[in-house]
Amino acid sequence: MFSNFFNWRSALALIAIAIVTGTIFYSNYLAKKIAADERKKVNVWAESLKTRASTLDESALSLTTKIANENKDIPIIETDEKDNPSGATLNLDTNRIKKESNYIQIKLAEFKKENPAIEVEISKDPLFVNKYYYGDSNLLKEVRYYPIIQLIIVALFVIIALVTVSVRNKSTQNQVWAGMAKETAHQLGTPISSLQGWVEMLKDNPVNEKIGVEIEKDVDRLKLVSDRFGKIGSIPQLEEKNIVQQVENMVDYIKRRSTDKVSFSINSQNDYDISVMINAPLFDWVIENLLKNALDAMDGKGSIVVDIKNEITQTVIEVTDSGKGILKSNINKVFKPGYTTKKRGWGLGLSLSKRIIEHYHKGELFVKNSEVGKGTTFRIILKK
């Protein structure tokens, strides 16, 4: 599934690059061609004005007038040899010319940047030269801006396609998670029910009563695991719980299963009753996973500190260990399904934990900081 996503993304990127590159080259070619053609038109137009000024031939005047009137899209400003506008303009906004005294000067400055002037010698004695500055036509501007517009369109297309593929993959992933969880809970249900029956039979016999009590604890643990998987496969209900008590229960549970070389401490800022909306079995699973990861990171000795902070808009739980830490290059990988540094395990603990906090509790779970050889801090944020 993930490889297909990356193949899609690579293919879309290549297509987008090919389209944009081809468009830019072709648009530049067209722009140069149109610019050269427009310069010829302006040159012919300017020469027609010179002819009109130097002949009385009616046919010549008719031809030059026709040429002059054909230019309806290229804006032109006429100046003398010192670049002083003579007042003659073509294809400019006449309303702005009347209302804005500096409009022609502004347009003249723009035209100077766009194209070099065309000089026409009106007379030799005395020498009289006119300059004609002109701007780009609307067609030329559209051709030049077309690649930018197309780039935006292609970028939007690629973004929409990637978002669509990503949403589809997430939807598929959610279905896989839910299906796997429901199936696991279903598969565990039958042997657990059978074990409960056998436990009751053991407890009825005084000789096996102590064994039955101990086995019952393990069966209850299996029931809890089954319940957790069942809740992951559906939408769990959130209830108001004392988060300090929930954390203390899980710390006590893990503490009983660790060595004396590991110290545990909980710091709740002297606030022992912090109410938060959670699903207790799933939240306990998250804390259990974080504590177990902390134990694994310390190789059996060190310290684990859980800080609980009751803030105005949120409750923050931080689990800090004194273990081996996480490389910076691996911090973004720890929540990905299948990633693990252990010899045993599926690498799903942190991935499931992140899903439980962010998907079901609408909170956040991330690595606050980690330093190789000194330890790691995981932070949970639960909104109020």
CATH number, domain at 117?
Answer: 3.30.450
Structure tokens at 274: 């912090």
Residue ending a domain, among 115, 142, 169, is: 142
Q: Do 9 and 127 fall into the same domain?
A: yes
State whether residue 198 is helix, strand or coil.
Answer: helix
Domain count, the chain: 2
Rounded to whole angstroms, the Cα distance separating 88 from 103 reads 13
Q: How confident is the model at residue 1 (pLDDT cuts 50, 70, 90)?
A: very low
124 and 14, same domain (yes or no): yes
258 and 136 housed in the same domain: no
**pLDDT tens digits for range 336-349:** 876 666 655 555 67
Domain-embedded: residue 376:
yes
**In terms of residue numbers, what domain contains 274?**
237-383
Residue 8 has pLDDT above 70, yes or no: no
Indicate if 241 and 376 belong to the same structural domain: yes
pLDDT of residue 185: 67
Q: How confident is residue 305, by pLDDT bands cut at 50, 70 and 90?
A: very high
DSSP state of 19: H
Q: For residue 194, tell me if it sits in a domain.
A: no
pLDDT at 162 over 70: yes
8 Å CB contact between 346 and 340: yes
Which residue, 119, 142, 165, sits at the end of a domain? 142
Domain co-membership, 135 together with 250: no
pTM of the model: 0.52
Considering the domain boundaries, does residue 138 fall inside one?
yes
Report which of 45, 195, 202, 193 is spatially closest to residue 133, judged by C-alpha positions: 45
Separation CA 40–CA 2 (nearest Å):
57
Q: Distance (Å, rounded) from C-alpha 108 to C-alpha 135?
A: 9
In a domain, 39, yes or no: yes
CA 193 to chain centre: 47
Q: Which of 227-231, 275-279, 320-324, 370-374 has the lowest mean pLDDT?
A: 227-231
Which pLDDT band holds residue 5 (cuts at 50, 70, 90)?
Answer: very low
Residue 50 · residue 173 · CB < 8 Å: no
Average pLDDT for 277-300: 90
Strands 85-90 and 76-80: antiparallel
Q: Given 114, 142, 170, which residue is the final one in a domain?
A: 142
Compute the average pLDDT of residues 149-166.
79
Which segment of 3-7, 273-277, 326-330 scores lowest on mean pLDDT? 3-7
Judge if 109 and 242 occupy the same domain.
Answer: no
- Identify the weakest region by mean pLDDT among 88-92, 124-128, 274-278, 308-312: 124-128
In a domain, 365, yes or no: yes
Task: Give the CA angle between residues 177, 183, 189 to the nearest 5°.
Answer: 135
When the pLDDT of each residue in the chain is averaged and rounded to a whole number, the result is: 81
Instruction: Decide if 160 is inside a domain.
Output: no
Please give the pLDDT value at position 364: 95
CATH of the domain at 292: 3.30.565.10
Alpha helices in the chain (DSSP H): 2-54, 58-70, 94-99, 103-114, 138-204, 209-232, 243-255, 280-298, 349-355
Q: Rounded to an integer, what is the distance from CA 224 to the centroid of its chain?
A: 37
Residue 242: predicted pLDDT: 95
Per the domain annotation, does 149 fall within a domain? no
Q: What local confidence, expressed as pLDDT, does residue 141 receive?
A: 82
Q: 6 lies in a domain?
A: yes
**In the predicted model, is pLDDT for residue 278 greater than 90?**
yes
Mean pLDDT, to the nearest integer, of 285-293? 91
Residue 132's H or E segment, with its range, is: strand 127-134
Mean pLDDT on 180-209: 75
Residue (of 185, 218, 224) closest to 199 by Cα position: 218
